Structures are given as structure tokens and as C-alpha cells.
Structure 1
């Protein structure tokens, strides 16, 4: 048996370890809802990927912007491993793609405090005459999307509790999409009367010097006390950090543990982490609100369908009347045309022969006996014969009386 030299064994081990050390890290992609635009989401969330890259070096984490609609396709085509989004959007996504919440967000506010809840802000311009939820009736309203949670549905719930249907009571409801900043600009420029945004956005824009809160009227601002942001609605749990069912379970657990440690981690401080993360909280209130919202959409759809059917039956019932009226008009015009061809219309119900009608027509036009005879190709005596019959039938003494009585 041939012995392998010991130094060759050590050389092989060193080469194997070297190849393992050189194995490139695997990629993990975190989809984040870009409600202020793709560039902003990269800037705001880059510190999260920096922190995860530092603490889980065998993986490379990248931030992928999402919209409310694009997230479905990004998950379907396996472009994402984790999803960070608002709880309403999570409920929508989880209804189609199995996901698990591994952490709930604790957002750092401008005053340095951490909060695990947020709401919506409903606002108008100062001196616009809009100061209460009731004032929104008959006004124009801008929001992100019908399925935007902080950008519409939370506000819808508050209006609904006040007896106002946000779908039908405003004069117009405009859904403008992302970025959400444009809603504030629309109100500032007078493009709409009322805007709906998630809480905290006004404060962020104010810190950026893009809006002066003193120029705005905040509706229902007493809905929540003690929250650092101006809020017009009841509060719900902050954003979710979720793992997809296809995500590596070992990676999922390591990310969850790393997020929970972020509040006291030197690596998080070095990465510039602003927000903290807690263990997952209950999102039952979000599920219940979405159930109410979906029910309202169904009711509105039934109402619209009912109105559509009613309009159809009104048109269907009116169709015979319209056809009858059209036939009467056609008959009337036909009679008038026939009368124009055959002579004056006899309003007295006198029965005339075709020749008498022809003679009467020319008499009414002022033609002499000779002219009538020439036009009709008959003798003057025949013309006079028919004229005499006409005078007798109408009881007229002169041609003038005849024309007056027959026309």
C-alpha cells in the first residue's frame, strides 16, 4: 500500500480551506415599500443592509424598492427573500404568498423617541374653510391608492366612523400613486382641497424644508394623544419585516435574531441604524380594518351594479315609447311631405279626388284657369268643373274663400 506523504495531506487541507474561504457570499434581497420613491428608499434603508452585511458576512444583503402592485410580481418571480412594508400591504401579500413576520418596526421619531405605531394624517390649507371631517363632503381629495393602507384606508376608517363615505361624499377622489410627497404638493398648489398621507411624512418634509406645517389645517388631530407625529386617525402597529416561505430558514432565523439585537448592537450604531426592531406584534386590528374596508367595497360595487341595472331597465322600458314616438314623427313628416306634393292639407275632413287636389294646389298658388289647364294638360272647362266642385264641397263662394278654408 502506497503511503501519501504527510505534507501532501496538509497541503490538500489548506487548499480546501482556502477554496471555502474564497466562496462568494450568497445574496439576500430585501424588498422595501418605496412610498416616497426608489431613490429615497435606498438612502433611508441602506444602513439596514450595511448592518446585516456586517453581522451575517456569508450573505450579501441588498435593498429592492417595491410599489403596492409590483411587490406581487417580485415575490411571484422570486426576486425577493424578505419584505418590509406596512401591515395592510402585508395582509394583502400574505393572502396570496405565504409569509411570516419575523420582526415589527420601532420607528425613531424626530424627537428621539421610538414608536411602534402609526396612523394617517388628513390635511388641508389654512383658511380653506375645511377644519373637520364633515367639511370634506363636496371637496376634492387626493390619496395614494384605494389599497394604500396609511395613504388611504386608515383615513377611510376614520371617515366611516364619522358617517362619511370617502368613496362617494367628496366631489372627487384622486388616486395619484407614489411618491406620496406629491399629495402634499397638490394641496399646497391648490390642485386638491384635502390630502391623505401616512403619519410622519409632514414632519419629514418639514425637516427637509419642503413644507411649513403652520400653513396646513390638520383634520381630526385630536384622534390620538401622546403620539409624536400629527395624526388624524387611530393608531395601528408599525411596518412588518417578513420572510417568504421560500427563504432559507437558517438565514430567516439569523436575520430575526440580528434585528432584535439591533437596539443594543455596536454594529448597528456603526452602520447608522436609526430604527429598532421588536418581536412580532399582533396585527389583528389591521386584519379587522381590512375586512371592513373590503365589505364597504363590496357594498359600493353592489350599489353601482344596482344603478347600472336600473338604468338598463329604464332604457329598456322607454325603448318602445321612443320607437312609437319615432314612428309618429315619421308618419307626421310623411304626411307633410305628401301634402306638399299633392296640395294644401284639408283641415275640414273633405274628401277630394286626386284631380281636385291638383286643381286646388294651383288655385292656392294663384294660377289662372288657363295656366292650370296648361300645367295639368286638360281643358279650361275641365278646370272650371273641378273648381266648381271644390267651391261646393267647401261651401265657399269665391276662390279666395276656398283657399282660406282649405289651407
Structure 2
């Protein structure tokens, strides 16, 4: 209300005195009634800002505005940028007083561009698709910057020149362009930015009724756009308007704010300081639009008309220049070569001589004459082998000389020879020879040879060789002994690695059958006594598997083959898994298991090895439950430090158990040691858990320790250093939830199970079919490949060691075929080393499951890859 009152008050002097009228011409890019509804208030506002004057507005198209300017009926203009550039050229306009700022969804901009529109179902997607199409534009003459010129410039950049390369029709206005495209009268249309949003705001265009071709993203620009951005409309004054009036209008325009009635009526943000209209000038020049429709002939025009003639002339000129340059370079190279050779021969201390293709000396340096004792005149023109080059002290024919034949064929030579001096002495020389090449790089048969006397050095080397022989004799015995010991150690290490790998495979394979068949019967039987007996078998099997894993872990750690994974996980998921694994054991002993985890840590996304971190916690928690008769076991986690992306955490496992004597604590973290050897008999265990935990903690850049009071309890603590990640991490899926989701979301998904061992195949088949999957089986790798070539599968489980064709070969064959090239393939193997997993992934498999197969791990892995398969399909 206050804004309207101020506006009315500003009109009081208008009606109090006689008014001088100034005419403002506004370019009507939309229907004139719509333009009047938007900008009539601007005339009222400017009238109030200029005492003694009134503003009268005329809404004109391009032709009408040009006529009005020619008849000198306009004092002010408000038009699009390209029209302003054209009018400025022929009407001596002032520079722009201000540039329009539009408003969309509360965001202001002083820029505009062009939009290329089509129906949503149109097959047109790129700029190149527009060639030859029916094109609607908002007015004849191509005078709209946002409605024609910006789009034409973009098309020109990809080789499409308008109007020649499209069927253009004049729709008369931007609104009519939209109607023509929607009705099918045009395949594609040009409109300026903001029209789509304005029509939607006015209720004349439904969202999604049009699609934008070549959409662009410009920072802080609120409209759909297909082109570069240019300054918005310009407000300018003709030279006839007094300077004081121009200043008042300028101030009034810049004073407009979005909450003023004039801005609300026009749907704009206001006006700002003039933009850079030079880029609009460059666009009109490129498109040869007024005032640049008649320009000087450009180089591109000359090239387009006379390209073949220019090309021929340039080619001929290039050939002449190349030949001249080649001649000059050859002469220069010869001059430099002569100067270089002369310098070498005069200054170098080594003997230098040049041989021609027949082995005759054509050049020698002073050092040559000094070393061998020959005057230059006695050797030039003579064959070198006849004078001084005697390989073994006797004259050697040219064709048998390795040096001569090597350089003659274009090779370089470096070696030791014997030369005969003029006084008959034989000297040892070290000689290097290189062939002389012609301008094409081919050997001419001539060579440059350099040598120096090494007779003294050879004598010294002979003496050193004798001393070396004596020294080698002294150390030979010890070296032999060390070599034998080293070979024995390496053989033992290889035997150990082979034994562990074989033991892992041979133990895990029957364990998979035992645990799998036991679990299968447990899932199917309701007999209470049988379930109890099978439960004991399952517990004993898990204990044996735990022992096997501990032995393999400590072996890998000692061999420095233990490597930690770096994957995303939630700390809360680790402790929830610990609760599910250890909670039942605690309840069986009547103990309370407490897990204290701050809320901010429960959802903390980390990068590290969640399996090994969980293994440490499970080892410590299992020991606490084992050695606690009554009371509770408490697991705590707390934040120590955050430094950038690095996170330091501390974990504590406290119990109310039997405690540990001070003298026994030093042995706790040693392999195969316990606080008291009698505990092995009473409580069981291998004594490896704490040793493995300590090594794993050190791999995580942490420390581990223990505080204990006998008969009161023990607290094990450890720290780890992990990395924080901003990526979203999904909570760990439990077996029940994974199995439930597979049964309900992926029922009837077809799976291929490749397993040669019948019992393992039966166990896996039972687990897969129980959760609703359709399973095809293969007994060897070749069968798996054959089935994969005839059936598309959601997922493939692949055993590694199979007859006929192993898992790696089968995977590579499947990946080479198009049907299941991208199907997830998961390895199932009893090999437990990290390099086995790496070997599977390198062969093209996506994941790895170790045997014995844990149903929980199996179901969570299946769900993970079935989900990914859905996302990729």
C-alpha cells in the first residue's frame, strides 16, 4: 500500500503544471496488449521522476520502430540488444543508460539468450538434427536477438547456416512460435529466454509441454537456455534529449527495486549498469546482420571462392621454400662438419683417423702421429691394416676385421684392439668407431675412429686380477655356505606357502560340505534332539574353521602377506554384527553384553577394513565371555581425534572375569601363548587370537594393551586410525533381512551355479532355492560356458578349481561372449590368500566368496550384486 501511495504522490506535480511529452519506444516482442500490461507502469513511474515532463509509450515492432526513428517521433528507446546495436549505428544514440534485470523464482539476471524448442516426442535432440527442418521464428527479418540471432550463431558454429539450411516460417511473435511447435505446424522453434517461464506463470503453457534442444547450464541463470548469454535489453536516449533529463531517467531506472509496483507489473528485478554490448556487436558481424550486412570481403570469403587456386599456389611456394631450405641446410651441415672435424683433429688428445670405403686413411690428427710414431705423409692414402691395425700382432685382412665390417654396414663399434707402432712395438688401445652417413642417413662405408693407449692400464688390470683371484678364493667358501643357507630358507618358505595353500584348500573343501550339509538339515528338520546334536556338530565345525583361519592369518602376517581392504562402512554396523555374533554366547552363560556407542559414531561413515576390525572386536569379546563366569561384558567405542579426513578411535572390551596376573600380561600377545598354559586345557583356544589382533591393530596404525586385576576383571583396549568419507554408506544387511529381500524382490531370478564337487553343489543349490531363486547347475567350467552362451543369468557363482576348464578360463570365455558379458560373476573357492582373491578379480570376476560358505555372507553378497544388476538393467 505504501508503494502505491508514494507513486500517487509522485504524480502530483505532473498534473499541477504543463507537461512536455517524451516518447518512449518499446520493442514489442510479444503481443502489444501483453507488453502494455507489463510496461505501462514504467511510463507512469518515469513521468513522476522527471518534473515538467511526461512519458508516453509506443509499443512497436522492428519496422515500426525504424520508421518512428526515421520520422524523429521517438526520444527514448527500450529494445533488445541486437536491435539497439543496429539503431545505435544509424541514429547517433547515446550509450545504453541501463540494462534490464529480469526476475525468475526470486533470482535476478541481466543476461539473455535463445531457446530452441521442440515437442517432447520429437526425434530432434542436437543442433545437427535441425538441418532441413521446419523452423518457426517470432518475426521476419531475423531481428530478434533471443528469438533468432543467438540460435543462428550457435548453428553457424556447427556448420548450419540460416536461412539456407532450414525451412523458416514467420510466426509473428514468441507466443505464436510456441503455438506452432505444439500444434505440429513447425518441427522446431526459436524463442528468447524467459518466454517459457512467463507463459507457464500466466497459465498459458503446461509444464513438460516442450523440450529444450542443446540445453546449457549457466551459473546463476534462472531460465531454460540453448545458447551463450548476452546482455539484456538496453534503455537508451536519442541525442535530442537534454543531458539533465537523461541523468534523471538513468537515476530513476537504477533506483527501481523488485518490491516496487513498476517492477512487479513488468515482472522484472529492475535495471543495472549497462552491460557489455560488444559481444552482441561481434555476433551481428558474424551473422552479417544490420548494420553489418554489407561488409568488406573477408579472408574466409576469398578462401571459399578460390580455395583450390590458393592451395595450389601455397603448395608450390612451400615446395620451393622446402627445397631452398634443404639446399641451405645441406651446405651449412657440410661447412659445420668440416669445421668440427678440423677442431677435433687439432685439439683432441686421443688418436683420430678417418677411413674411406676401401679402408684407406684420409685424415689423421697430431695425436695419431704422436702415439704411433708415423708422419702424416707416410700414412695418408694407404690401407690402415697394412700399416698399424694388427688385431693379434699380425696383419689382418679387411674382410676379417670386425671393426671395419661393422662400421661399413652402418653400425657403431667399441672395443679393444692391438696396434703396431712404427718402431715395431705392439700397444693395446681402446677404440670407438662410428660410420659416416650421407644426407639420407645411409652409411657411406667411411668411418671416424678414435683410440687411446691402454697398455699401462692393461698391465695394472692384470695385477689387480691376480689379487682379485686370491681374494675370491678366501671368500668363496663363505659365499657358498651363505648361498646354500639362503636357498634352503627360500625353499622352506616356498614349501610353507605351498603347504598352507594346499592345507587351506583341502581343509576348507570338506568343511564346506560338513557345515553346509549340517546347516541344510538344521533348516529342514523339526526333530528337537536331532537339531541339538546337529547344533553341536555345527559349533565344533565353526571352532575348527576358526582355528584354521587363525593359523592362516598368523602365517600371512609373519610372511608380510596380510593386506587390509579399503572399503566404505558404518561403525554402527560393525558393533551390531558383534552383538548378533557374541550376544547368544553371552546369554548362554548368563552374562550381560553391553555395547556403548555414541550416536554420532554409530552413523559415522569410514573407510577401512570392516572385516578385520570386526575380527579384532570379536576376538577380544569372545575371550571376555570365555573367561567370565558371572557379571557382564561391556564393549565401548569413543572418538579420540579428528584431523581432516583422519579419524582416531579407541575401543575397550571390559569384563568382570578372572583377571590376569601382572607377570602373565607380557606373554599375552605372543603367538601360541596364554596367560596360563593350564587355561588351554580348561578354556580351550590356540593362543593365536591376541597375537593376530595385535598385528592387525598395528596394520591400522594403532596400539593395543590390557589393564587387569586378578579376580576382578580385565579391560582390553586398542586404537585404530581410519579415514572418514562423505559418501553415503548403507547399513550392513543381516542374513535374515538379505534372505527376506531376495525372496521378495528377486524371486525367480535365474542363477548359474558352477561347482564340480557334488556335496558342495547340493549345499549351495539348497541355500539358493530356499530363498526363491531359479538355479541352473554346471559340473565343470565348459558346462558353465555352454549354459552361459544359451541363457541370460542374473548372477553366476563360479568355483575356481574344476575339471575340463577351471573357473578363471570359464570366466574369460563368458566375458568374451555378448550374452552374459556384464553379468556379475562371484568366485567360490577354498583358497584363502589375498592373491587368490586378486587372481579372481583380475580374471574378470566381480566378487569372491571363501569356503566354507557362510550363508549370511552368501545372501548379503547375492543381494549386493542382484541390486546392482537391477540398477544396470
1:339-386 deviation per Cα after TM superposition (whole angstroms, max 9, x unaligned): xxxxxxxxxxxxxxxxxxxxxxxxxxxxxxxxxxxxxxxxxxxxxxxx
- Specify which of 215, 222, 237 is matched with residue 216 of structure 2: 222
Question: Cα gap change, 1:41/1:270 in structure 2, threshold over 3 Å: closer, same or farther?
Answer: closer
Q: Tell me the distance in 1 between the aligned counterparts of 2:168 and 2:45.
A: 41
Q: Give the Cα–Cα distance (whole angstroms) in 2 for the partners of residues 132 and 297 of structure 1.
A: 29
Task: Trace 1:41-120 onto structure 2 (pairs within 5 A).
Answer: 41-100=35-94, 101-109=96-104, 111-120=105-114
8 A contact 2:134–2:187 mirrored in 1: yes
Q: Is the strand fraction higher in 1 or 2?
A: 2
User: Which 4+ residue blocks in structure 1 deviate beyond 2 angstroms?
Assistant: 53-57, 222-226, 263-275, 295-299
Contact 2:258 2:270 in 1 (8 A): no
Q: Which residue pairs with 2:393 in the alignment?
A: none
Counterpart check, 1:125 vs 2:115: no
The answer (yes or no) to whether the contact 2:23–2:74 under 8 Å persists in 1 is yes
1:30 corresponds, among 24, 42, 49, to: 24
Give a deviation string over 1:128-155, Cα, whole Å, max 9, x none: 2111111112211011232221111100
Is the alpha carbon distance of 1:22 and 1:205 closer, same or farther for their aligned partners in structure 2, counting shifts above 3 Å?
closer
Mapped to 1, the partners of 2:267 and 2:205 lie a distance apart of: 26
Deviation readout 1:90-142 (Å, 9 max, x if unpaired): 01111110111111111122x01110001010011111211111111221101
Is structure 2 residue 194 aligned with structure 1 residue 168?
A: no
Q: Deviations over 1:258-298 (max 9, x none)?
A: 11122389686798884311122221100000100107967
Q: Displacement, 1:56?
A: 2.3
Partner secondary structure for residue 91 of structure 2:
coil
Q: Per chain length, whose mean CA-contact separation is higher, i.e. which structure has more relative contact order (CA < 8 Å, sep 6+)?
A: 1
Instruction: Sort the Cα spacing of 1:115 and 1:22 in 2 relative to 1 into closer, same or farther, 3 A.
Output: closer
The answer as to whether partners of 1:38 and 1:65 remain within 8 angstroms in 2 is yes
1:291 corresponds in structure 2 to: 285
Name which of 171, 191, 199 aligns with 2:185: 191
Instruction: Name the SS of the counterpart of 2:26 in structure 1.
Output: strand
Residue equivalent to 2:154: 158
Secondary structure class of the residue paired with 1:275: strand
- 1:96 is paired with a residue whose SS is helix
SS at match of 1:257: helix
Choose from 263, 268, 279 the match for 2:273. Answer: 279
Distance in 2 of aligned mates of 1:82 and 1:51: 15
Cα distance in structure 1, aligned partners of 2:237 and 2:36: 20
Task: Structure 2: state its 5+ residue gaps.
Answer: 1-14, 306-873
Two-structure CA RMSD over aligned residues (Å)? 2.8
Q: State whether residues 81 and 280 of structure 2, in contact with CA within 8 Å, keep that contact through their aligned partners in structure 1.
A: yes
Shift of 1:87: 0.7
C-alpha separation between the residues in 1 aligned to 2:235 and 2:20?
A: 20
Alpha-carbon distance between aligned partners in 2 of 1:94 and 1:162, rounded to the nearest angstrom: 30
Give the Cα–Cα distance (whole angstroms) in 1 for the partners of residues 212 and 77 of structure 2: 32
Residues 156-195 of structure 1, C-alpha deviations (whole Å, 9 max, x = no match): 011111222232222x111333x22101100111101000
Question: Structure 1 residues 63, 221: closer, same or farther in 2, change over 3 A?
Answer: same
Separation in 2 of the partners of 1:213 and 1:221?
Answer: 16
Q: For 1:227 and 1:248, how far apart are their aligned partners in 2?
A: 36
Write the distance in 1 (CA, Å) between the matches of 2:93 and 2:230. Answer: 20
Which string of whole-angstrom CA distances, capped at 9 and with x for unpartnered residues, describes residues 221-244 of structure 1?
Answer: 126454211000000000000001
Distance 1:287 1:52 in 2: 29
SS across alignment from 1:222: coil
Distance 1:148 1:289 in 2: 12
Give the match for residue 736 of structure 2.
Answer: none
**Mean CA deviation greater in 149-158 or 222-231:** 222-231
Deviation sequence 1:304-363 (CA, Å, 0-9, x none): xx9xxxxxxxxxxxxxxxxxxxxxxxxxxxxxxxxxxxxxxxxxxxxxxxxxxxxxxxxx
Unaligned runs of 5+ in 1: 1-20, 307-407
**Is residue 135 of structure 2 the alignment partner of residue 141 of structure 1?**
yes
Q: Are residues 1:263 and 2:240 paired?
A: no
1:288 partner SS: helix
The residue aligned with 1:206 is 200
CA distance in 2: counterparts of 1:222 and 1:265, whole angstroms:
30
CA contact (8 A) 1:54 1:267 kept: no
- Distance between the aligned counterparts of 1:283 and 1:230, measured in 2? 22
Equivalent of 1:242 in 236, 239, 243: 236
Larger radius of gyration: 2
C-alpha distance 273-247 of structure 1, shift in aligned 2 (>3 A): farther
- Aligned to 1:99, the other structure's residue is in SS state coil
Q: Could you say if the C-alpha distance between residues 132 and 248 of structure 1 is closer, same or farther in structure 2, counting changes exceeding 3 Å? A: same
